[in-house]
Structure 1
Amino acid sequence: MKLKKSFIAKQVALALAFASSTQLAFAQQESDEGTETDQHDHSYERIVVTASPLQKSAIDSAQPIYVMSADELREFQAATLGETLRNIVGVQASYFSPTASSPIIRGLDGPRVRILQNGLDVADISRGGPDHAISTETSTAQQVEIFRGPSTLLFGSGASGGVVNVVDNRVPRFIDEGISGQYGLNYNSVSQEQLASAELNARNGNFAFHLDAFQRDADDYEVPTFVNDEGEESDHIENSFTEDSGFTLGASYLLDNGFIGFSAGRLEREYGIPGHEHHGHDHGHEEEYHDEEDHGHEEEHEHGEEHDHEEGVFAKFKQDRYQILSSFENPIPGFERLDLNLGYTELTHSEIEEEMIGSGFAVEQSELRIAATHAPIAGWRGAVGVQVEQRDYESNGEEAFTPSSETDLTGIFWLVERNFGDLTVEAGARYEQVSLKTAEFNTLDYTPGSFSLGFRYQVNENLQYALNASYSERAPQANELFSNGMHFATSTYELGGIYELHEEHHEEHHEEHHEEEHEEEHAGEPHLELYHLEVASNALASEKSNNIDLGVHYQTERFHVEANVFLNDIDDFIYQQNTGIMSNQLELDHAHDEEHAGHDEHEGHGHDEEGLPVYLYQQQDARLFGYEVSGHYQVTQNWHIDAFTDYTRAKFVNGGNIPRIPAQRIGATLKYTQPTWDAALGMTRYADQNKVGENEEATDGFSLVNLRLNYYPGMFANQDVSVYFKVENLTDELGFVHSSFIKEDAPLPGRNIGIGVRAYF
């Protein structure tokens, strides 16, 4: 606690020192009041989508894109990206408790939704497991861009379901002369979360500088009393704490026609993994964990367990990220713009159980991305680009279920658009080469291709239609192919698609020879069918997605509505199937063990008393379809209504449902605004989810009611100040998230009271 208080004090003192040392103050209040008054109207304004090389706004794209502004980010700020975005239409969250929650876009997540930081991959391991936190922070972000639907043209195989791009100012682009900045302090009662964040920007001539930092500390969160899977009553979720901190330094040289800059940042996170049961594994080969820092929480936690590291499972990662970003207008004849970006990331991630490192991961990833916007050719304006990635992934520890691997990606793309009066036509294509290498298996090569065709028709100044059709391919990721072992965070035994399960058939004389000995040893135990693993003759194929999206946008002075319907047919859809087999039924092929050294350690995990459910990556054709509707109505000058609904239906073509698909939602918010304050009362209803996958249980619906008050006192000590008070889950309703791997053990938080202050100077 001393460390946390010291950090907050330093941030506030630093911000105040800069504020008092300069007469520069943001004339921000009027614009902030306008934003708060119509904070949902921003999506219809022409805010530039930075991830698009054509520098278009969301409303000017045939593909549905949502830009979450800085004000919305502050309003919905949460510890994880998934929880921050979960209120956006078409976006829900995987919710492995608040500590690890990833965005789900139209029913798709994980390896199908790519997470970017300033247009470059975040380079973590969050796409490979629901318990892995995303290594990006939104408390210091300027905006978040959400691409709903396939986005492989620009961002490659990992974007077949959508893209989330977190944009910050770590490499300064546009800064006024002098010094400016902001800082914020936040508190949430449901987990005693305390968050401090600060940002400083400075410019002197052509040189610009940036510094931001944050620290978050939260205890186990409280819930309405419920009975978990073990039949135990609980009013809080054990081992759901989180401790985060990070900073970023950046500098750039500003030119008349662009900029070039560099940034370096570090993010550290330690968080509990709830819902894990101990299975009595032998940790004889594991590395002992020593926490080098005394976090000093012994006296602070209401549930009194100093985060209970000795008992629970928790994860700890550190990431160092370096970026070079540059952009130039009219660099050479024939080209309007050139963007050249380079990223390099190192990440270490450990999962610790009983003071032992059960599994450890290390990622080293580099990415080069070049996009050049060319002048119109026969009336077609466009952008051509290249993307090169190299990812080295290492795993260690007895419970490391995915082998070390190397992934290389090279892609080229071309996007064009042309206006024909009120009709705009968009088209694009991409070709990609993906190579996956491991020491245990042969190299696997994939060549995904993608193309799209879109139309936007402006009927009149109020009405616009959009139609977008695309074909995209996604190469499987290493964990989908090569997993073989216990994933203790999800309490499952994972097998990659390169394996096949075969039932054991013992020879008759062999059975007779061991019958008496077997009966004596296992007297009274139920008979278990045994299975062995074999390498499949054919590895997983690339997913092939055919997607069509129809959208309509209607806008008047007081009324906005946007609606989309979509259909996504996916051939060879990759998913994890609960096989109904337990890990204590697995008999590993000894010849296979010798050929693939290092896998034999899993045998011990497979033969505990109960075993773990075996999940196998499989493929079959799937269909997803649904709708998204959102609207805003200004009833009077002061009263406003926002409403939305979304729904995704996901099933296999041959019958059955895709598991863990979010439920239908419908919500509305009533707002009242004044120049110096505003208030909002909203409710979201989550429907029952009865369309469940094999070996999956239905989830009851629930309703969440939220209240928020904002106050804008104006200038204070040369700072533009805003204060908020909020109550989330006002009725303290118990809600289980169907898309969560641990839904029965980690419901949504109970009633939360939050307060916060933000100041600009």
Structure 2
Amino acid sequence: MKCRTLAIVLAVPLGVSAQDLFEPLAVPEEASTELEEVTVTARAAPMTPGTTSMQSVRTVPEEVLQRNAQGTLGETLGWEPGVSSSYFGPGASRPVIRGFEGVRVRMLRDDLPTFDLSDVSPDHGVALEPFLLESVEIHRGPASLLYGNSAIGGAVNARSRVLGRERADRTVAGGWETRYETNGNGSAGAGYLSLSGGPFVFRFTGSARDSGDITIPGHARSGAYQLLENPTVHNPGTGTSEPVPNPDGTLPNSGHESATWSAGISYLPDKIPLLLGASYSRFDSTYGVPYFFPGDATDLHGDYTLDLVQDRFDFEGSMEFGDGFVSKAAARLAYAGYRHAELFEGTGKDEGRDFPDTTLEKDATEGRIDIHHRASDERLTGILGISAGTEDFTAVRTVFPPPDSQRVRSTFRSDSSGLFFLEKFQEGEWSAQLGHRIEKMRVMDHSLEQYGYFRGESDISNSSSAALTWERENALALDRLKVTGVVSMVERLPTATERYAFWSNAGIGRFLIGGDLDGRPLSQEESLGYELGLELAKGPAILRLNGYHYDFDNFIFLQEAVAQTGGFGRAVQYIERAATFTGFEAELDWKLQEKLTLTLMGDYVRAENTTDGEPIPRMPPLRVGSRLEWKDERFSAGLEVRHASAQDRVKPAPRPELPSGSYTLVNADASWRVPVKSHELTLFLRATNLLNEEARVSTSFRKDVAPLPGRGLSLGVRHEF
């Protein structure tokens, strides 16, 4: 094949000049100076979903992850264009892409699911430690169908360090980091170690974090929430109801702690482009959920703490085949066991009434095989694959708390399998893409199996996407112009939770009810989407702009029930409505000087329940942000300004969703790289919310009781060897 580019990279230690490295080469007079002709061949880099997709897959590099790393992945990525966060406090948040959350944004680790329960409820943490990730890929729109028909909003694929996928040039290599955060008096540390011997690479990772209650600029509960709910608690001594104090300056029960570790082994023979690997990892996290008024002064009064643990086993194999039509084959298989308890701790009148309210368990297995192929002229490239998975999910709810304890179990089993392809054809300035995924899913409710009663649904969904791109150099006075149009048709089958849920959810402070339980089963969700993307380059500036529109026949979402529900208090139920989502995301990168870069971003989505003529709840507002960064070989410094406008497009009465106000966050950071022999030591600090602004995230169920942290400073050290 043709060799298009040959790059030679020389790693030069800091402080060493090229003159010191290279001495002039003396050529004997009798030696011939005629150069021998050398033919260079190279094998093209193996394809990934990112290189195959017509839509750009945004990769957040390790450097940015290290700078923005928070306790959760949602907060770490929450200001990427088109990405916000379902903030539930420092211990739990999940990415929200284009206003979509839950099952419509698939969370992945190394191309397989994270196997947690963050898609069941946004207060459940994602089983990932941001400090230990190499990079994160953000897939938007229909290109994410490679990972499932449910991922219409997108997919977040975290690249972990649990396996060594390349042979190291040193026997021992690794890195560690430790940091301290003033807000919450928190500390965190993480590290990884690679040991190489022959074709084997052993990889170990670990992390730990611990933080107390965070400080906030004002009161925990907003003024509008106080007026609407007027939280009170019954006093048995007086027989009256008394106001619940509104905390000021500190958010009670917002502390969190976590620990992770993993061990993996990889087989990488020297003469064969083969990878075989296996790993085990454990994730353990405990965090508090800020107080939410249950709606009745006589109800239990206290705090909830969520305690989750996951054990996971991964197996991976891949083989590259050089210049043939099939360029690479990769197979992955994983199993995870997840346990999650929502622990109630009584205070005041309920002092001493401590019990597990709802416990959730999940055992899941999923595997996939990807075949990458490429025509000899490289005009046609693509991926063909299959995937299959099974999941056993159990929810145990407390009907009557101690001392008269009574608990009820709900048990579900879900099986899915899929066949997919994504093909890309390029001819000159034009590129075309076609993708399709067919998926079969079966959901069974075994909750009343002992009485001989079963119910369930089984169906097939089909999703397709097509795209066309035109790209030209030196067009319309620009250095480069790229235009992409995308059309997608997506079908999604409702999950077991959406159909049959019937338990208390501590995070949202409501009783959760499945959409099938009213006798009218949820239908298959169907949507038609359009997207237009522009990329313009002129001199030192690059502008990227995407606009999109999705039209749903029956969009499934959680909406608060109008009245009390059968003695279970306030409830939310999954319902289906016709809906539209329209929005944009934009980003400008402008290199002002050799070492100075300005980045601007903005995004917005407008979501409408067209059946009832009202907004879809918990949507992100219009956001704009900027970052000015100065960077050289050793030192970097950045200043960020992030503004979120007010979100007043909320669901009206009978039980309204409260609006959220606008806020502006100002952050600053700096880092200094210090060479230590062949190693690198980095000192860093980051100041957040310098204006100490009160900020409430409109995408959160708990925005009215849990604002973002106030002013804080994080400082630490990182060492790589």
State the TM-score, normalizing by the size of structure 1: 0.79
Aligned partner letter, 1:648:
V
Change (3 A) 1:154 1:57: closer
Q: Which amino acid aligns with 2:427?
A: F
* Equivalences for residues 215-614 of structure 1 within 5 A: 215-226=208-219, 228=221, 229=226, 230=231, 232-255=246-269, 256-277=272-293, 311-330=302-321, 334-354=325-345, 355-376=354-375, 380-398=380-398, 403-439=410-446, 440=448, 441-460=454-473, 462-500=480-518, 535-536=519-520, 539-583=521-565, 586=566, 603=567, 606=568, 611-612=569-570, 614=571
Pick the aligned partner of 2:78 from 75, 82, 86.
Answer: 86
- Separation in 2, partners of 1:260, 1:368: 15
CA–CA distance in structure 2, aligned partners of residues 333 and 144 of structure 1: 30
Cα separation, 2, equivalents of 1:734 and 1:282: 30
* Residue number in structure 2 paired with 1:657: 615
SS at 2:276's partner residue?
Answer: strand
Judge which range, 118-127 or 450-459, deviates more.
450-459
Q: In 2, are the aligned partners of 1:459 and 1:465 still within 8 Å (CA)?
A: no
Matched, 1:756 2:698: no
Kindly state the Cα deviation for residue 494 of structure 1 after the two structures are TM-superposed: 2.0
Q: Matched residues in 2 for 1:215 and 1:180: separation?
A: 21
- Tell me which residue corresponds to 1:696: 657
Identify which of 107, 128, 131 aligns with 2:123.
131
Deviation at 1:252, TM superposition (A): 0.8
Query: Match of 1:447, SS?
Result: strand
The question of whether the paired residues in 2 share the 8 Å contact of 1:427 and 1:454 is answered with: yes
The residue type equivalent to 1:476 in the other structure is P
CA distance in 1, matches of 2:641, 2:14: 29
Q: Please, which moves more after superposition, 673-682 or 110-119?
A: 673-682
Gaps of 5+ in 1: 1-25, 31-49, 284-309, 501-534, 587-602
Q: Which letter maps to 1:359?
A: T
Note the C-alpha offset of 1:54. 3.6
Cα deviations across residues 445-470 of structure 1 (Å, max 9, x unaligned)? 12111111112221116221222211
Q: Letter of the 1:219 partner, please give it.
A: G
Deviation at 1:262, TM superposition (A): 0.5
Could you give the per-residue CA deviations for residues 160-218 of structure 1, whole angstroms, max 9, x where no partner exists? Answer: 21100010131211132321111001111111121100111122221111111000101
Q: What's the counterpart of residue 668 of structure 1?
A: 626
TM-aligned CA deviation for residue 713 of structure 1? 2.1
Q: Which amino acid aligns with 1:657?
A: P
On the 8 A contact 2:435/2:466 being kept in 1, the answer is yes
Unpaired segments ≥5 residues, structure 2: 1-10, 16-44, 232-244, 346-353, 400-406, 449-453, 474-478
Query: Within 2, Cα distance between the matches of 1:105 and 1:731?
Result: 27
- The 5-angstrom pairing of residues 155-170 of structure 1 reads 155-170=147-162
Corresponding residue of 1:121: 113
Distance 1:235 1:401, change over 3 A: farther
Q: Report what 2:402 is aligned to.
A: none
The farther-off stretch of 454-463 and 201-210 is: 454-463
- Decide whether the 8 Å contact of 1:402 with 1:483 is kept in 2: no
The match for 1:179 is: 172
**TM-score w.r.t. length of structure 2:** 0.83
Check the 8 A contact 1:561/1:630 in 2, yes or no.
yes
Q: State the distance in 1 between where 2:685 and 2:496 align.
A: 45
In structure 2, C-alpha distance between the alignment counterparts of 1:402 and 1:451, rounded to whole Å: 38
The whole-number CA distance in structure 2 between the counterparts of 1:753 and 1:546 is: 45
Aligned-partner Cα distance in 1 for 2:562–2:610: 21
3-state SS in 2 of match to 1:374: strand
**Match runs of 1:706-725 below 5 Å:** 706-715=667-676, 718-725=678-685
Q: How does 1:720-735 map to 2 (within 5 A)?
A: 720-735=680-695
- Bigger share in helix: 1
Give the drift of 1:133.
0.7
Structure 1 residue 109, shift from structure 2 partner: 0.5
Q: Structure 2 CA distance, aligned partners of 1:107 and 1:348?
A: 28
In structure 2, relative to structure 1, the CA distance for the partners of 1:409 and 1:164 (3 Å cut) is: same
Number of equivalences: 627
Contact between 2:342 and 2:506, CA under 8 Å: does it hold in 1? Answer: no
1:706 Cα shift? 0.6
Residues 336 and 363 in structure 2, CA contact (< 8 A), matched pair in contact too: yes
How big is the shift at 1:151?
4.2
- Post-superposition Cα deviations, 1:477-525, rounded to whole Å, max 9, x if no partner, equal 111111223323322122211122xxxxxxxxxxxxxxxxxxxxxxxxx
Offset of residue 653 of structure 1: 2.1
Q: Deviations over 1:411-462 (max 9, x none)?
A: 0012211111111111111111000001244121121111111122211162
Q: Which amino acid is the alignment partner of residue 466 of structure 1? A: T
Residue 331 of structure 2 aligns to which amino acid in structure 1?
Answer: L
Q: Which residue of 1 aligns with 2:67?
A: 75
Percent identity over paired residues: 26
Between the aligned partners of 1:702 and 1:644, the Cα distance in structure 2 is 16
Q: Which residue of 2 aligns with 1:14?
A: none
Measured in 1, the distance between the counterparts of 2:48 and 2:128 equals 23
Aligned residue for 1:632? 589
Show the counterpart of 1:213. Answer: 206
Provide the rounded CA distance (Å) in 1 between the counterparts of 2:409 and 2:150: 19
Give, in angstroms, the shift of residue 139 of structure 1. Answer: 0.7
**TM superposition shift of 1:282:** 9.3
What is the alpha-carbon distance in structure 2 between the residues aligned to residue 676 and residue 252 of structure 1? 34
User: Whole-Å Cα distance in 2 between the matches of residues 554 and 29 of structure 1?
Assistant: 36
Is residue 2:638 matched to residue 1:680?
yes
**Matched residue type, 1:86:** G
Provide the secondary structure at the position in 1 that maps to 2:127: coil
Question: Structure 1 336/734 Cα, relative in aligned 2: closer, same or farther at 3 Å?
Answer: same
The letter for the 2-side match of 1:259 is: L
Name the structure 2 match of 1:509: none
- Which letter does structure 2 place at the counterpart of 1:434? M
Q: Is the 8 A contact 1:402 1:485 kept in 2?
A: no
Q: In structure 2, do the counterparts of structure 1 residues 28 and 144 end up closer, same or farther at CA, with 3 Å as the change threshold?
A: farther
Is 1:646 matched up with 2:628?
A: no
Q: Is the 8 A contact 2:163 2:266 kept in 1?
A: yes
Describe the shift of the 1:207–1:227 C-alpha distance in structure 2 as closer, same or farther (beyond 3 A). closer
Alpha-carbon distance in structure 2 between the residues aligned to 1:661 and 1:424: 34
Is 1:747 aligned to 2:704, yes or no?
no
For residue 164 of structure 2, give the secondary structure of its aligned residue in structure 1.
coil
Separation of aligned partners in 2, 1:434 and 1:331: 36
RMSD: 2.4
| Structure 1, 383-392 or 461-470: larger mean CA deviation | 461-470
**Conserved? CA contact 1:708–1:726, under 8 Å:** yes
Q: Tell me, in whole angstroms, the C-alpha distance in 2 between the residues paired with 1:84 and 1:724.
A: 17
Give distance in 1, aligned partners of 2:718 and 2:215. Answer: 26
Q: For residues 320-346 of structure 1, give each alpha carbon's deviation from its aligned partner in whole angstroms, at most 9, with x where no partner exists.
A: 111111111129964221011101111
Deviation of the 1:280 alpha carbon: 8.3
User: Cα offset for 1:748?
Assistant: 0.6
Structure 2 counterpart of 1:492, one-letter code? R
The C-alpha deviation readout for 1:562-614, integer Å capped at 9, x for no partner, is 1111111122100112232123xx2xxxxxxxxxxxxxxxx5xx3xxxx32x2
